[in-house]
Amino acid sequence: MAVFRRLLGFLRPYRGAVALSALLAALATAATVSIPWLTGRAVDAVQDGARSELTTIALAVAGAGVLRLVLTVARRLVAGRVSLSVQVDLRERLHTHLLGLELAFFDGQQTGQLMSRATVDLQSVRFFLGYGLVFILQAALTIALAAVAMVIIQPGLAAIALAPVPFVVWASFRYGRQARPALQEVQQRIGELTADVEENVSGVRVVKAFAREARQYGRFERSVGRVFGQSMISTRLRAFYDPFLGFLPQLGLAAVLLVGGRQYVNGSLTLGDFTTFYTLLLMLIGPMRSLGTTLGLAQRATASGARVFELLDRAPGMVAPVTPRALPEGGGGRIELRDVTLHYDGASLPALRGLDLDVAPGTTLALVGATGSGKTSLVSLLSRLYEPQEGAVLLDGVDVREVDPTALRGEIAVVDDSPFLFSATVAQNIAYARPDATREEVEAAARRAQADGFVRELPEGYDTRVGERGLTLSGGQRQRLAIARALVTDPRVLILDDATSSVDASTEQAIKAALREVMEGRTTVVIAHRLSTIALADEIAVLEGGRIAARGDHAALLAASPLYREIVETELAGREEVAA
Ligand SMILES: Nc1ncnc2c1ncn2[C@@H]1O[C@H](COP(=O)(O)OP(=O)(O)OP(=O)(O)O)[C@@H](O)[C@H]1O
Ligand SMILES: [Mg+2]
């Protein structure tokens, strides 16, 4: 019920339009109800042989028909607009909210589930708010007006004719109650199905490479089956209730034909009034039958609304400071981590444990360490993508929590280990962080990242559209575009996560040269696996189990750190193997 009230709240900005559409619905209903009454008058006129009256009535019926037509078209236009506007509002709210949530939230989410909430669930909310509500209103009004007309003509007969109405209402609500859990489940299953489809599509390379189409298809089939099974439960309910709801007023019709027919024979009812009665009843069958379905729509919208609100109510775990501090102008990008502990949600061990690190402005630090030692975790703290449980991270002496995240991230450019490219042109991808960059700036960044050469060979050069996740490009090409994207912003701090691991030796050399140039004047943290990359750094830090195990230059570390020696020897052994 609370969910339902909250859904209605989304109509508040459109109060005027909602009231107008209710008014139009009421007038259209009045026109509809007038037709059976006019029919009754026509029958009386026929019996009395009153020709001129018949003409008037016929014109009135046609007039009522036209009025109803015009009113209904207008009502639909108004209601349709409201319903789409509500959908736009909900979409924007949901999307803004999602993008405002911290990265850690997305780690625990299935993309498909989020997508289904943003599409299927919003759709069902919109349907109900736009059409369902007006429909219920119209059905209720039709019943009420027909009842008034009947009571005016013959209260006794009206009581007989309307006797089934309470049962219809009762059965409709019962249907709604029974259908709710089933419909809630349907929405949930659709969410799972969407998640399945999403994984199949984004994981298509793995699926194909291991020829596991059959398994994926099997999984998918089971999801489809579950949606089918759940939908069948609600379909079965509807299969019974819909016709049943239509059947009840027919009982009333039978009673009216019997009792009203006798009254006519006795002379206590005119043939016209008798006709009005049963025409009204025939007219009621439709709205009564759909009352159940519409209440079902309401239940479905409530179930969907609950799923959407669940997301909207998830408060952002990371908030921007109310009065942000500015980073000092012209700061060289000094990085300090003080006693930092990072423990991911649901992980058994902390990824970083009491870590201290100080990187002097304008210098380059290479981070080395075994896989899982916390290298990526460390650098993601700098741009506050994650928040440490303990300790502080400072950029140029300012705690990153006190800086506006947008300003902070404008000063730190990240090239991560699996760069994501948007489905846009190469130039747009490079200029992503600075859409106002000129074509010259874009090309200059590409040249410095050694990307210009291959970009020019693409069918449309910088205007070539690359696919989602840049699937049309190779791993090394994607990395070079990501480097170009980082360079376009001219950041204080540059972070390269494994940035050169998937390029060939000559490109690597070229990128090295470029990096040496771009590292000038800014602090760079490079997560390195190769000696050639390590060689670019002023200093090297060795990470082990979430801590800095050793720090120094190459020669010092070779002497002092067994772990570093091991890393170097493994790399050298690898080279000798290749050479042999
Ligand atoms: N988003 C996350 N949620 C939960 N745990 C995570 C997350 N990211 C990393 N971890 C865990 O934290 C630890 C450190 O991971 P991290 O990615 O920092 O390692 P890494 O040194 O970058 O390794 P690699 O060299 O393989 O990239 C690992 O045990 C990893 O499983
Ligand atoms: Mg990593």
Is residue 322, in this structure, part of any structural domain at all? Answer: no
Nearest residue CA, atom 12 of ligand 1?
A: 351
Q: Which atom of ligand 1 is nearest to the CA of 369?
A: 21
Residue 552 lies in a domain: yes
Q: Hey, whose CA ends up nearest to atom 4 of ligand 1?
A: 344
Structure confidence by residue, pLDDT tens digits, 342-393: 999 888 999 999 999 999 999 999 999 988 899 999 999 999 999 999 999 9
Instruction: State the Cα–Cα distance between residues 538 and 511, nearest whole angstrom.
Output: 17
Instruction: Output the furthest CA–CA distance in the chain (Å, rounded).
Output: 120
Query: How many residues can be counted in the chain?
Result: 580
Tokens 């908030």 -> residue: 319
What CATH number does the domain containing 404 carry?
3.40.50.300
* Residue found by looking up tokens 């981590």 in the block: 337
Whether 288 and 371 map to the same domain: the answer is no
Among 344, 353, 378, 544, which is best to mutate for testing ligand 1, by the most ligand atoms less than 8 A from CB?
A: 344
Ligand nearest to the CA of 416: 2
What does the pLDDT read at residue 283? 87
302: amino acid identity, one letter: T
Taking CA atoms only, the protein residue closest to ligand 1 atom 28 is 372
Is residue 375 within 6 Å of ligand 1 at its C-beta? yes
Q: Given the structure tokens 């089939």, which residue do they identify?
A: 221
Together in a domain, 385 and 423: yes
* Residue 302 three-state SS: helix
| Same structural domain, 307 and 353 | no
Q: Is 353 helix (H, G, I), strand (E, B) or coil?
A: strand
Distance of alpha carbon 461 from alpha carbon 453, whole angstroms: 10
pLDDT of residue 580: 61
pLDDT at 112 over 90: no
461 has pLDDT over 80: yes
The alpha carbon torsion through 469, 472, 478, 480 (nearest 10 deg) reads: -150
Q: Is 351 in the pocket of ligand 1 (CB under 6 A)?
A: yes
Question: Are 342 and 221 found together in one domain?
Answer: no
Q: Is residue 72 part of a domain?
A: yes
Nearest residue by C-alpha to atom 22 in ligand 1: 376
Vertex 453 angle, CA 452 and 459, to 5°: 95
In a domain, 399, yes or no: yes
Q: Do 349 and 226 share a structural domain?
A: no
What is the rounded CA–CA span in Å between residue 519 and residue 522? 6
Q: Are 237 and 178 spatial neighbours (Cβ–Cβ below 8 Å)?
A: yes
Decide if pLDDT at 503 tops 80: no
| CB atoms near residue 385 (< 10 Å) | 19
The residue type of 366 is A
- Structural domain that includes position 185: 2-312
Residue 27: predicted pLDDT? 93
74-106 pLDDT tens trace: 998 998 898 889 889 999 999 999 999 999 999
* Spacing, Cα 290 to ligand 2 middle (Å): 58
Looking at residue 546, its pLDDT comes to 92
CATH of the domain at 129: 1.20.1560.10
pLDDT at 520 over 80: no
Do 64 and 204 share a structural domain?
yes
- CB burial string 419-440: b at 16+ within 10 A, e below: bebeeebbbbbbbbebeebeee
Ligand 1 touching residue 347 (CB < 6 A): yes
- Ligand 1 centre to CA of 388 (Å) is 14
**Bridge partners of residue 495, in order along the sequence:** 414, 525
3-state SS assignment for residue 270:
coil
pLDDT confidence bin for 535, thresholds 50/70/90: confident
pLDDT at 57 over 60: yes
Q: Return d(Cα 397, Cα 386) in angstroms, integer.
A: 19
Alpha carbon nearest to ligand 1 atom 7, residue: 344
Total domain count for the chain? 2
296 by DSSP, 3-state: which?
helix
Regarding the beta carbon of 107 and ligand 1, being less than 6 Å apart is answered yes
| Pick from 387, 449, 443: nearest CA to 413 | 449
Any domain includes 418? yes
Q: Does residue 469 surpass a pLDDT of 60? A: no
Distance from the alpha carbon of residue 381 to the mean position of ligand 1, in angstroms: 12
From the CB of 522, is ligand 1 less than 6 Å away? Answer: no
From CA 240, how far away is CA 219, in angstroms rounded? 32
pLDDT for 332: 83
Q: Which residues pair with 370 in a beta bridge?
A: none
CA distance 390 to 395: 17
CB atoms within 10 A of CB 108: 9
User: Which residue lies with its CA nearest to atom 8 of ligand 1?
Assistant: 377
Query: Which residue, 277, 312, 347, sits at the end of a domain?
Result: 312
Contact partners, residue 509, CB within 8 Å, separation at least 6: 532
Instruction: For residue 380, report the distance from its CA to the centre of ligand 1, in Å.
Output: 10
260 and 361 fall within a common domain: no
Q: Tokens representing 297?
A: 């729509």
Q: Which residue puts its alpha carbon closest to atom 16 of ligand 1? A: 374
Answer yes or no: do 134 and 213 share one domain. Answer: yes
**Which phi and psi angles does 330 have, rounded to 5°?**
65, 15
Sheet bearing 335-342, strands edge to edge: 352-359, 335-342, 390-395, 398-399
Please check whether residues 306 and 340 belong to one and the same domain.
no
For residues 234 and 176, is the Cβ–Cβ distance under 8 A? no
pLDDT band at 500 (very low <50, low <70, confident <90, very high): low
Q: Nearest residue CA, atom 30 of ligand 1? A: 372
Instruction: Write the pLDDT tens digit of every residue in 13-47.
Output: 999 999 999 899 999 999 999 999 999 999 999 98
Predicted TM-score (pTM) of this structure? 0.81
Q: Is residue 325 part of a domain?
A: no
Distance CA 160, CA 156 (A): 7
Write out the DSSP string of 487-548: HTT--SEEEEESTTTTS-HHHHHHHHHHHHHHHTTSEEEEE--SHHHHTT-SEEEEEETTEE
Are 217 and 78 found together in one domain?
yes
First to last CA, the chain: 74
Quote the ligand 2 centre to 338 CA distance (angstroms): 21
Residue 380 Cβ < 6 Å to ligand 1: no
Decide if 328 is inside a domain.
no
392 CA from centroid of ligand 1 (Å): 20
Q: Are 115 and 192 in contact (CB under 8 A)?
A: no
Q: Considering every ligand atom shown, identify the ligand nearest to the alpha carbon of residue 374 and give its number.
A: 1
What are the tokens at 53?
A: 């009256």
**385: which DSSP letter?**
S
Is 432 part of a structural domain of the chain?
A: yes
Same domain, 271 and 341: no
Q: Are 32 and 131 within one domain?
A: yes
Domain end, chosen from 247, 277, 312, is at: 312
Residue 501 has pLDDT above 60, yes or no: no
What is the Å distance from ligand 2's center to 376 Cα? 4
